[in-house]
């Protein structure tokens, strides 16, 4: 199996629709051992959801903005496994004031919170786990992204945070490459997770993918993204680091004016008539 014997730390499981849940489920099916993290009011929810995995696993408390909790989880991993083959950073947060057209009016306090949770926590978690990844021969760090190369309706300061996340990925890849650690992001298309649907413009994004994505896109199925995460954790991509892997039906690769296949016959006919 693809991940036999791998030991993985996975953040961000909140519902069964979470990308992190899909990744954890697939990882176990491919032979990995998994520990989940959560915190606050979400912690008992994550513990219940963990019971629905192929093999129920431990769920540890971890607030990624708290250095003492990061150190505590690293200590528990060291005591239990002594090494770590991979981790998934699947945590992001933005208050309503930072989304849906409020870009010019968001306070610094709210922006700082967005950046701390959604961007800085990625290198913070990776730094805490770096010695354990080195002990496993390098390991693989994966984070979840949404294409930050352009502005999206309603995404506002979260888009800025994702641009920072992409830069962090490159710098982490540079810093940890000497110890053999690979660091990559998976940029998914819009998925109907709890976090995504907090964005008022979610349906605008979904409709954009429906109209423009070269491959059909199902906003309720996180499996393709979970598979990509598992592939990056595996030994099959040993020379890939600092990369943003798009799992979005190919939309990132096409211009706005490129029609879907279904539209082409009618447009070609119109061109002939004209």
SS3 state at 83: coil
Give the other-Cβ count within 10 Å of 108's Cβ.
7
Low-confidence stretches of the chain (pLDDT < 50) are 258, 262-274
Q: Which tokens is 53 given?
A: 């995995």
| CA 137/CA 81 separation, integer angstroms | 14
pLDDT at 200: 80
Catalytic residue among 6, 7, 155, 206: 155
162 is catalytic: yes
CATH class of 7-273: alpha beta
pLDDT at 203: 86
Phi, psi of 88 (to 5 degrees): -125, 120
Domain-wise residue ranges, the chain:
7-273
| Angle formed by the axes of helices 19-29 and 223-233, nearest 10° | 60
Query: Which runs of E-coded beta strand occur in the chain?
Result: 7-10, 33-38, 59-61, 86-89, 140-145, 182-188, 243-247
pLDDT at 176: 98
155 is catalytic: yes
Catalytic residue among 6, 16, 120, 162: 162
pTM for this predicted structure: 0.91
Cβ partners under 8 Å of residue 267, min gap 6: 259
pLDDT at 274: 38
Give the other-Cβ count within 10 Å of 67's Cβ.
12
């Amino acid at each position: 199996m693809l991940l036999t014997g791998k030991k993985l730390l996975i953040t961000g499981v909140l519902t069964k629709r979470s990308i992190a849940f899909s990744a954890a489920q697939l990882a176990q099916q491919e032979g990995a051992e998994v520990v989940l993290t959560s915190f606050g009011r979400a912690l008992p929810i994550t513990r219940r959801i963990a019971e629905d995995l192929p093999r129920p696993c431990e769920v540890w408390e971890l607030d990624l903005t708290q250095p003492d909790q990061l150190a505590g989880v690293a200590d528990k991993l060291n005591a239990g496994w002594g090494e770590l083959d991979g981790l998934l950073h699947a945590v992001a947060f933005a208050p309503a004031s930072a989304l849906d057209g409020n870009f010019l009016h968001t306070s610094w306090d709210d922006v700082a919170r967005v950046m701390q949770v959604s961007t800085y926590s990625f290198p913070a978690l990776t730094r805490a786990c770096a010695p354990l990844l080195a002990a496993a021969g390098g390991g693989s760090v994966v984070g979840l992204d949404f294409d930050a190369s352009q502005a999206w309706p309603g995404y506002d300061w979260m888009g800025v945070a994702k641009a920072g996340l992409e830069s962090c990925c490159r710098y982490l890849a540079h810093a940890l490459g000497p110890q053999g650690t690979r660091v990559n992001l998976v940029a998914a298309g819009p998925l109907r997770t709890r976090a995504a649907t907090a964005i008022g413009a979610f349906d605008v994004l979904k409709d954009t993918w429906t109209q423009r994505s070269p491959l059909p896109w199902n906003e309720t199925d996180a499996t393709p993204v979970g598979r990509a995460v598992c592939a990056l954790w595996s030994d099959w991509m040993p020379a890939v680091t600092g990369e943003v892997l798009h799992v979005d039906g190919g939309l990132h690769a096409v211009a706005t004016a490129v029609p879907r296949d279904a539209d082409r016959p009618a447009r070609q006919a119109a061109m002939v008539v004209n």
